[in-house]
Structure 1
Amino acid sequence: MSRRAPARPVFFKLNQIQMPVGALTSIVHRVTGVILAIGIPFCFYAMHLSLDSAQSYERLTRMASNGLFKFALIAFIWALSHHLLAGVRHMLMDIGIGSHLSDARRSAWTVNVGGVAMALMAAGVVL
């Protein structure tokens, strides 16, 4: 006679799953890493334009006056700040600092709020 394994619960309602803030911070950390990997070549191109000649610098300033460019720059700054803060958080947790549940939650919220705050400060400078 074969034994049946106990039925495991299946929950496919993704909009109702509540993930802990630490898990969301970790997922966003990975997403921001991808955003940075995609955005760094554009940053090098902008740096090249700014240093190449007066005409290319003028071209860059015209591009920078575009609203879509400003939005992309603010999004890139948010990704950079969130990724930096989350990376420091992960390194500290690797050595045992802030690894208790209450400390981990607090540091995750700090990373999330800090990343948005840095992006808003950048938006004040850019806009």
Structure 2
Amino acid sequence: MSEAVREAQKKGRPVIRNVDFGDITYRGYYKQPPSAIVSILHRVSGLGLFLFLPFLLYLFEQSIRSEMSFAHFAGIASHPLVKLILLGLSWAYLHHFCAGIRHLFMDNHLALDKVSSQKTARWVLVVSLALTVLVALKLFGVF
């Protein structure tokens, strides 16, 4: 800490400074509120979906050409590593969808205060993870 920060803390004045990336990654020093976590994950999931979309469309197009190509891609999709990638993409879609619904409510001036915003952010995290667990159970053959 700099001398000016120590002096301000001794006098009881608030210390206003920029937050750098090291402060954000260290959870004990600067804790992100749930709405910030949902916002960051919404952007990450949107980027992931955007980057994988051409690949997924290509695979879909190839799989509907014939029964043989569908069987070929079904065999590829049964590999555990591919299932994990599909699970990650499923999480990205489900989280992006749930966070998008939250943003639609906020666009209509609902749940804009701090308490409601944090509560809806927690619900987005819980619902998207619960739906992802259901997809994982189905994907890995539990039901």
Measured against the shorter chain, the TM-score band is 0.7 to 0.9
Mapped partners of 2:57, 2:19: distance in 1: 45
Greater RCO between the two (CA within 8 Å, min separation 6)?
1
Structure 1 unaligned regions, length at least 5: 1-5
Picking from 95, 110, 127, the partner of 2:123 is 110
After TM superposition, the structure 1 = structure 2 runs for residues 1-127 of structure 1, keeping only pairs within 5 Å, are 8-9=16-17, 12=20, 13-14=22-23, 15=26, 16-127=29-140
What secondary structure does 1:117 align onto?
helix
User: What TM-score results when the alignment is normalised by the length of structure 1?
Assistant: 0.87
For residue 46 of structure 1, what is the amino acid of its counterpart?
L
What secondary structure does 2:110 align onto?
coil
How far the C-alpha of 1:45 sits from its partner, in A, is: 2.1
Structure 2 unaligned regions, length at least 5: 1-7, 9-14
Mapped partners of 1:8, 1:107: distance in 2: 29
What secondary structure does 1:68 align onto?
helix
Aligned-pair identity (%):
29
Mapped partners of 1:113, 1:63: distance in 2: 31
